[in-house]
């Protein structure tokens, strides 16, 4: 079916193809720019094009592709870096040079590499759609291959297979390959969702202890520029206790992605000792890459994350930053001349965002395994103003809220998580879990720690008026210990060995600080002076 | 390419920089057109939007004198392209890449679209080569590296251009064979500012290319000039292996031009009337800085931004800060105290500093020294607030030492009459910290 381009406005192109369906893929122009139908009109359709439309001419061909925008699932995703349309950037760079030009298309199927396939079913077995028929080894992971339809296996083979070859054929002639496609805007099915309640260790003391994230949970981190969003996201990507990490650089800096790629290649995963890149999938749609592809990038990423979740892995999706996605949505909405909501954002911003964030969770998969998909999303509120629509929409959906504070960042207190304003809804369940798994005293020490920080805040106001010397010894002790908690416990330098802290050492450190407070307070009560006590405590 | 140029006289709706044209056959998005006015004047324009055979054109100038019957529009079938050659060096062009010295344009080796193409992130090389600017507050605490984009956030009346001037005159980049070039893009500058920059450029021994769009020049060209500048920069860097420093002054004027045109196009306004796509638009400029693996050459950017109302949360500095790799913030208060450069160290930041300093690059212990200077100064500024309430006598002895340190830091480290090498900068910082030492021991006890 062929038609032609009849109108162009920014990233949207009008074509005169009849009988299209919404969200169907269309390629436009001589360069075959990829796009998706976002609006149908009588005898024409509006296509959101994922590449620069400059140079496109009215009258150039438009071709329907008969499928929605999809992502390809295959062994070989891990360790890869893709753009928002899942184009393999590494190979793109090798073939087309250092700049990406419109129409530089390279579909992602890594044909070069062969994978040893181990069949778990045999000829004559009946399989359901999506049921696993065998696996290949992908690095440290067992990558399961699913049957593409329900039926009886006629033939299945073991041994080295490249992704284009078929591994099995059913009685009705349906083939199973190592790869298959999935529409990115459709959530992958599962049997049921479970309640997130166990601690997802991020390696950041402040998060793990005060505002914990649960497996299958979501967290947002809003913060103005320079508050260390990216560094924190990357630190979590490096050290989180999960099987697989999917990191989306959504409308952010190109240099950051390059740096991350280089660093992840050389760093070892603290949990398994293997290269970090082996467990990571990077999706990079930097700020100067086309806006419409940026909108798609988070869906491409979350689909890949779900795919590995379905194999029974714990997957963590990090997006930096969701605000850039929202801005892309706004830009497309404005090109479609839709009625704007708050600050020009489309009114469906909140529902789209909740739809996306709802794809997180702990699930029992169709194959009876348990997998989880957790999300940590950074938000870049303009002017550091948290009342703006994207931050507010995130707040309504998120399980944990890690507020990054400009003041703390200016004091070089990193991670600059504001302990008074942040929260985690997984708090209570995770505390029970930690009481069981790490230390029975976890919940109590946590309460003490929060109380100390709270009291310090009140004392600080007093101290600013009367000066430190005007305070009583007990209060000065409290200020001293709170200062220790802030500088030694809450602060964590991402560039040193301290960048990762396991839950056990996190707990020991805070327990020690709280115990020191109790011990010194007791001695003050018995009449000793604070100066002497501190000299002994810090020789 | 179409075989013949298309010619139309079907102008309908005319606004200040925009007009609609009807019955156009197969226009191209971004196509360059030539508009011939009834009085014979010629101006260029660009296709912005196409709806069947109706085309919206933005003109690089002003529509005054245009009519709807006699005005002729010629379609060129090509996009806005930049002519590229080494012969472009040491000349001055306007925002449309036309020479301003009344001499003919050089013969280009090739043409390249002005908007450029996004760099593949996997081919980017990590910026890590130190650039010595000669300013302690930058070299010591907010180190600039090759391939970085580091804006200067200034306020009206602060000496941003003097700082840029000194950086141009004093910067040392560790050597590259093909040499060093400065691209200077003037956006909406007054004649006074412009002549200051040009005097500095002409005094320099290194190569330069200048793109000049003054306050009275076309607003549309103001959007074009930085793109030409960067296309030239990419050519010199990645085709010719040069280290290129791009100075863009002033991004605030650029953003105002963007807003003006966005309004003319009846687009939905975002914060303070700036268009919603301003982030992406600015990124398409700033992200062109960088280095490429396996290639010599680099594009480093130093844009100047005048913060309206001295407000760092204003959309222009705010969006810029989200894109660039740090910022150098100037302070009115320090300027009033006579400190030059009046760099407010606390909100300033260089995100790529970590990789550019230390042993083999600047000096061992640079990071630790910078951290201690920063932390002590931050403490001193806190104490200044306290001093305002309780008075100097209300402070403890150790606090008074820190307070004095803050003053000395501003007057001796940040303020400087002469260029300092990195060794001098670090020695100056270490010396300030040594004065602190007796107090520090007591303090940490």
Of residues B395 and A151, the one with the higher pLDDT is: A151
Question: Considering only CA atoms, which of A17, A10, A21, A107 is closest in space to residue A50?
Answer: A10
Phi, psi of B227 (to 5 degrees): -70, -40
Q: Do B287 and A254 form a contact (C-beta atoms < 8 A)?
A: yes
Task: Tell me the average pLDDT across B385-390.
Answer: 84
The pLDDT value recorded for residue A148 is: 85
Chain-chain contact of A327 with B319 (C-beta, under 8 angstroms): no
Distance from CA of A78 to the nearest CA of B (A): 16
Distance from CA of A287 to the nearest CA of B (A): 6
Kindly list the residues from chain B whose CB atom is less than 8 angstroms away from the CB atom of residue A412: 371, 374-375, 378
Which of B20, B29, B56, B312 should one mutate to test binding to chain A, selecting the residue with the greatest count of A CBs within 10 A? Answer: B29
Kindly list the residues from chain B whose CB atom is less than 8 angstroms away from the CB atom of residue A464: 386, 389
Q: Which residue of B has its CA nearest to A99?
A: B119
Distance from CA of B385 to the nearest CA of A (A): 9
Q: Do B223 and B211 form a contact (C-beta atoms < 8 A)?
A: no
Chain-chain contact of B121 with A258 (C-beta, under 8 angstroms): yes
pLDDT tens digits, residue range A410-435? 888 999 999 999 999 999 999 999 99
Task: Tell me the average pLDDT across B55-59.
Answer: 93
Distance from CA of A487 to the nearest CA of B (A): 12
Chain-chain contact of B124 with A54 (C-beta, under 8 angstroms): no
Task: Tell me the average pLDDT across A220-238.
Answer: 92
Chain-chain contact of B26 with A57 (C-beta, under 8 angstroms): yes
Q: How many residues does chain A have?
A: 539
Helix (H, G, I), strand (E, B) or coil at A202: coil
Residue B443 has pLDDT above 70, yes or no: no
Which of B18, B78, B121, B153 should one mutate to test binding to chain A, selecting the residue with the greatest count of A CBs within 10 A? Answer: B121
Report how far residue A206's alpha carbon sits from residue A499's, in angstroms, rounded to the nearest whole number.
12
Q: Do A317 and A244 form a contact (C-beta atoms < 8 A)?
A: no
| H, E, C per residue of A385-403 | CCCCHHHHHHHHHCCEECC
Question: Considering only CA atoms, which of A275, A274, A293 is closest in space to residue A284?
Answer: A293
Q: Which of A7, A81, A411 minimises the CB distance to B122?
A: A81
pLDDT tens digits, residue range B110-127? 999 999 999 999 999 989
Residue B1 has pLDDT above 70, yes or no: no
At A31, list the tokens. Answer: 């360069």
The pLDDT value recorded for residue A110 is: 60
At B197, list the tokens. Answer: 């920059």
Which of A33, A255, A383 should one mutate to test binding to chain B, selecting the residue with the greatest count of B CBs within 10 A? Answer: A255
Chain-chain contact of B126 with A101 (C-beta, under 8 angstroms): no
Q: Which residue of A has its CA nearest to B77?
A: A55
Q: Which of B147, B269, B389 minimises the CB distance to A465?
A: B389
Report how far residue A179's alpha carbon sits from residue A58's, in angstroms, rounded to the nearest whole number.
37
Task: Tell me the average pLDDT across A102-112.
Answer: 71
Sign of the alpha-carbon dihedral angle for B231, B236, B241, B244? negative
Q: Pairing mode, if any, of strands A2-9 and A81-82? A: unpaired
Chain-chain contact of A334 with B267 (C-beta, under 8 angstroms): yes
| Least confident piece of the model among A505-509, B259-263, B298-302, B330-334 | B259-263
Kindly list the residues from chain A whose CB atom is less than 8 angstroms away from the CB atom of residue B148: 255
Of residues B381 and A335, the one with the higher pLDDT is: B381
Report how far residue A380's alpha carbon sits from residue B51's, in angstroms, rounded to the nearest whole number.
35
The pLDDT value recorded for residue B175 is: 57
Chain-chain contact of A8 with B267 (C-beta, under 8 angstroms): no
Q: Which of A92-96, A361-365, B202-206, B432-436: highest mean pLDDT?
A: A361-365
Kindly list the residues from chain A whose CB atom is less than 8 angstroms away from the CB atom of residue B288: 288
At A363, list the tokens. Answer: 């699930």
Report how far residue B48's alpha carbon sits from residue B58's, in angstroms, rounded to the nearest whole number.
7
Please give the CATH number for the structural domain made up of A115-181.
2.40.50.100
pLDDT tens digits, residue range B320-371? 999 999 999 999 999 999 999 999 999 999 999 888 888 888 888 999 999 9
Chain-chain contact of A255 with B147 (C-beta, under 8 angstroms): yes
CATH architecture of A442-537: Orthogonal Bundle (1.10)
Report how far residue A64's alpha carbon sits from residue A375's, in angstroms, rounded to the nearest whole number.
34
Rounded (10°) angle between helices B397-408 and B366-390: 120
Helix (H, G, I), strand (E, B) or coil at A56: coil
Task: Tell me the average pLDDT across A164-175.
Answer: 88
pLDDT band at B442 (very low <50, low <70, confident <90, very high): very low
pLDDT band at A115 (very low <50, low <70, confident <90, very high): confident
DSSP secondary structure letters along B163-205: HHHHHHHH-EE---TT-EEEEEEEEEE-HHHHHHHHHHHHH-S
DSSP class of residue A184?
T
- Among the residues of A54-136, which ranges form H helices? 89-96
Please give the CATH number for the structural domain made up of A2-68.
2.40.30.20
Residue B439 has pLDDT above 80, yes or no: no
Which of A29, A98, A101, A406 should one mutate to test binding to chain B, selecting the residue with the greatest count of B CBs within 10 A? Answer: A98
The pLDDT value recorded for residue B176 is: 56
Report how far residue A130's alpha carbon sits from residue A327's, in angstroms, rounded to the nearest whole number.
36
At A426, list the tokens. Answer: 């997984």
Report how far residue A212's alpha carbon sits from residue A208's, in angstroms, rounded to the nearest whole number.
4
| Least confident piece of the model among A209-213, A459-463, A507-511 | A459-463
Place of tokens 């969770």: A361
Cα distances (Å, whole numbers) of residue B50 to A29, A404, A460: 14, 44, 62
Cα distances (Å, whole numbers) of residue A234 to B53, B120, B200, B251, B298: 49, 20, 42, 30, 26
Kindly list the residues from chain B whose CB atom is less than 8 angstroms away from the CB atom of residue A97: 120, 123
Largest CA distance in chain A: 91
Please give the CATH number for the structural domain made up of A193-203+217-409.
3.40.50.300
Q: Which residue of A has its CA nearest to B349?
A: A226
pLDDT band at A452 (very low <50, low <70, confident <90, very high): very high
CATH topology of domain B6-79: Thrombin, subunit H (2.40.10)
Task: Tell me the average pLDDT across B201-207.
Answer: 84
Which of B116, B122, B227, B388 should one mutate to test binding to chain A, selecting the residue with the greatest count of A CBs within 10 A? Answer: B122
Residue B2 has pLDDT above 50, yes or no: no
Instruction: Return the number of CB contacts < 8 Å for A and B.
Output: 194
Would you list the domain boundaries of chain B? 6-79, 82-354, 366-444
The pLDDT value recorded for residue B174 is: 60
Sign of the alpha-carbon dihedral angle for B75, B77, B80, B82? negative
Report how far residue A62's alpha carbon sits from residue A67's, in angstroms, rounded to the nearest whole number.
15
Q: What is the mean pLDDT of chain B?
A: 90
Distance from CA of B202 to the nearest CA of A (A): 33
Q: Which residue of A has its CA nearest to B287?
A: A288
Chain-chain contact of B238 with A98 (C-beta, under 8 angstroms): yes
Report how far residue A509's alpha carbon sits from residue A499's, in angstroms, rounded to the nearest whole number.
15
DSSP secondary structure letters along B347-409: T-EETTHHHH-STTTS-TTHHHHHHHHHHHHHHHHHHHHHHHHH-GGGS-HHHHHHHHHHHHI
CATH architecture of B82-354: 3-Layer(aba) Sandwich (3.40)
Q: Which of B120, B125, B390 minimises the CB distance to A100?
A: B120
Question: Considering only CA atoms, which of B138, B160, B155, B193 is closest in space to residue B317?
Answer: B155
Q: Which of A52, A59, A287 minimises the CB distance to B283?
A: A287
Kindly list the residues from chain B whose CB atom is less than 8 angstroms away from the CB atom of residue A224: 313, 318, 321
Kindly list the residues from chain B whose CB atom is less than 8 angstroms away from the CB atom of residue A259: 126, 355
Q: Do A5 and A58 form a contact (C-beta atoms < 8 A)?
A: yes
Q: Which residue of B has its CA nearest to A536?
A: B445
Would you list the domain boundaries of chain A? 2-68, 115-181, 193-203+217-409, 442-537
The pLDDT value recorded for residue A206 is: 96
| Burial label, B81 (beta-carbon count in 10 A; 0-12, 13-18, 19+) | middle
Q: Which of A97, A100, A262 minimises the CB distance to B118?
A: A100
Kindly list the residues from chain A whose CB atom is less than 8 angstroms away from the CB atom of residue B354: 495
pLDDT band at A118 (very low <50, low <70, confident <90, very high): very high
Largest CA distance in chain B: 86
Task: Tell me the average pLDDT across B360-388.
Answer: 89
Helix (H, G, I), strand (E, B) or coil at A316: strand
Chain-chain contact of B79 with A331 (C-beta, under 8 angstroms): no
The pLDDT value recorded for residue B188 is: 93
Other residues' Cβ atoms within 10 Å of the Cβ of residue A457: 12
Residue B432 has pLDDT above 80, yes or no: yes
Kindly list the residues from chain A whose CB atom is less than 8 angstroms away from the CB atom of residue B124: 254-255, 257-258
The pLDDT value recorded for residue B445 is: 36
Chain-chain contact of B280 with A380 (C-beta, under 8 angstroms): no
DSSP class of residue A82?
E
């Amino acid at each position: 079916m062929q038609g032609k381009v009849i109108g162009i406005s920014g990233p949207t192109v009008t074509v005169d193809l009849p009988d299209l369906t919404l969200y169907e893929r269309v390629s436009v122009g001589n360069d075959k720019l990829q796009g998706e139908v976002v609006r149908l009109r009588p005898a024409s359709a509006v296509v959101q094009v994922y590449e620069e439309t400059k140079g496109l001419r009215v009258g150039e061909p438009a071709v329907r592709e008969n499928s929605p925008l999809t992502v390809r699932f295959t062994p070989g995703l891990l360790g890869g870096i893709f753009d928002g349309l899942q184009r393999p950037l590494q190979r793109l760079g090798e073939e087309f040079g250092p700049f990406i030009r419109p129409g530089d298309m390279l579909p992602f199927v890594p044909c070069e590499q062969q994978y040893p396939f181990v069949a778990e079913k045999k000829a004559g077995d009946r399989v359901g759609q999506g049921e696993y028929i065998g696996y290949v080894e992908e690095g440290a992971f067992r990558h399961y291959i699913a049957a593409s339809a329900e039926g009886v296996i006629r033939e299945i083979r073991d041994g080295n297979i490249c992704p284009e070859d078929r591994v099995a054929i059913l009685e009705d002639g349906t083939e199973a390959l190592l790869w298959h496609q999935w529409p990115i805007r459709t959530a992958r099915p599962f049997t049921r969702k479970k309640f997130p309640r166990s601690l997802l260790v991020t390696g950041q003391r402040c998060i793990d202890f005060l505002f914990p994230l649960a497996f299958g949970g979501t967290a947002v981190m809003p913060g103005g520029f320079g508050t260390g969003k990216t560094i924190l996201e990357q630190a979590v990507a490096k050290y989180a206790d999960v099987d697989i990490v999917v990191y989306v650089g959504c409308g952010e800096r190109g240099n950051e992605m390059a740096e991350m790629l280089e660093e992840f290649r050389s760093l070892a995963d603290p949990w398994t000792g293997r290269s970090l890149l082996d467990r990571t999938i990077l999706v990079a749609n930097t700020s100067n890459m086309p806006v419409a592809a940026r909108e798609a990038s988070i869906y491409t990423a979350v689909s890949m994350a779900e795919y590995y979740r379905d194999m029974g892995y714990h997957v963590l999706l990090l997006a930096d930053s969701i605000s850039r996605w929202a801005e892309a949505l706004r830009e497309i909405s404005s090109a479609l001349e839709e009625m704007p909501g708050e600050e020009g954002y489309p009114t469906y911003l909140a529902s789209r965002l909740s739809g996306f964030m709802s794809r997180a969770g702990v699930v029992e998969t169709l194959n009876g395994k348990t997998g989880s998909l957790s999300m940590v999303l950074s938000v870049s509120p303009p002017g550091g103003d948290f009342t703006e629509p994207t931050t507010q929409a995130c707040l309504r959906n998120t399980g944990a809220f890690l507020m990054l504070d400009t003041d703390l960042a200016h004091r070089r207190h990193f991670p600059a998580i504001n302990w008074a304003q942040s929260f985690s809804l997984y708090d209570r369940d995770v505390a029970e879990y930690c009481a069981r798994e790490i230390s029975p005293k976890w919940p109590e020490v946590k309460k003490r720690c929060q109380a100390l920080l709270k009291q310090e805040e009140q004392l600080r106001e007093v101290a600013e008026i009367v000066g430190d010397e005007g305070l009583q010894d007990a209060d000065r002790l409290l200020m001293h210990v709170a200062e220790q908690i802030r500088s030694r416990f809450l602060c964590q330098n991402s560039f040193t060995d301290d960048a990762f802290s396991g839950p056990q050492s996190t707990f020991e450190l805070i327990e020690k600080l709280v115990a020191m407070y109790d011990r010194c307070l007791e001695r003050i009560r018995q009449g000793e002076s604070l100066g002497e006590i501190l000299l002994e405590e810090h020789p | 390419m179409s075989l013949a140029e298309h010619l139309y006289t079907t102008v309908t709706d005319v606004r200040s920089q925009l007009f609609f044209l009807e019955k156009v056959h197969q226009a191209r998005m971004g196509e360059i057109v030539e508009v011939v006015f009834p009085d014979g004047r010629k101006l260029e324009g660009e296709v912005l939007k196409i709806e069947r055979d109706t085309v919206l054109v933005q003109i690089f100038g002003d529509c005054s004198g245009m009519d709807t019957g006699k005005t002729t529009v010629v379609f060129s079938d090509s996009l806005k392209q930049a002519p590229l050659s080494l012969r472009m060096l040491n000349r001055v062009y306007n925002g449309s890449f036309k020479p301003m010295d009344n001499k003919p344009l050089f013969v280009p080796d090739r043409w390249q679209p002005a908007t450029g193409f996004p760099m593949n992130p996997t081919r980017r090389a990590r910026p890590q080569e130190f650039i010595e600017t000669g300013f302690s507050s930058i070299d010591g605490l907010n180190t600039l590296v090759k391939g970085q984009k580091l804006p200067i956030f200034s306020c009206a009346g602060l000496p941003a251009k003097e700082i840029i001037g000194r950086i141009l005159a004093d910067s040392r980049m560790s050597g590259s064979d093909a040499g060093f070039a400065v691209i200077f893009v003037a956006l909406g500058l007054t004649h006074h500012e412009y002549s200051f920059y040009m005097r500095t450029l002409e005094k320099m021994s290194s190569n330069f290319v200048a793109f000049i769009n003054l306050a009275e020049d076309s607003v549309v060209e103001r959007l074009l000039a930085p793109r030409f500048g960067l296309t030239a920069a990419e050519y010199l860097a990645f085709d010719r292996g040069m280290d290129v420093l791009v100075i863009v002054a002033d991004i605030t004027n650029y953003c105002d031009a963007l807003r003006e045109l966005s309004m003319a196009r009846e687009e939905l306004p975002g914060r303070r009337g700036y268009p919603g796509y301003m982030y992406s638009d600015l990124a398409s400029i700033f992200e062109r800085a960088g280095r490429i693996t396996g290639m010599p050459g680099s594009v480093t950017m130093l844009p100047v931004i005048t913060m309206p109302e001295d407000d760092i949360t204003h959309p222009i500095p705010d969006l810029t800060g989200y894109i660039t790799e740090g910022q150098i913030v100037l302070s009115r208060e320090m300027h009033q105290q006579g400190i030059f450069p009046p760099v407010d160290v606390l909100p300033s930041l260089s995100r790529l500093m970590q990789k550019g300093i230390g042993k083999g690059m600047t000096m061992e212990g640079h990071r630790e020294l910078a951290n201690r200077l920063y932390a002590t100064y931050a403490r001193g500024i806190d104490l200044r607030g306290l001093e305002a309430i309780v008075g100097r006598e209300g402070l403890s002895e150790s606090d008074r030492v820190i307070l004095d340190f803050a003053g000395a830091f501003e007057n001796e480290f940040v303020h400087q009459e002469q260029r300092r090498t990195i060794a001098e900068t670090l020695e100056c910082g270490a010396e300030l910290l040594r004065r602190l030492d007796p107090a520090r021991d007591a303090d940490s006890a």
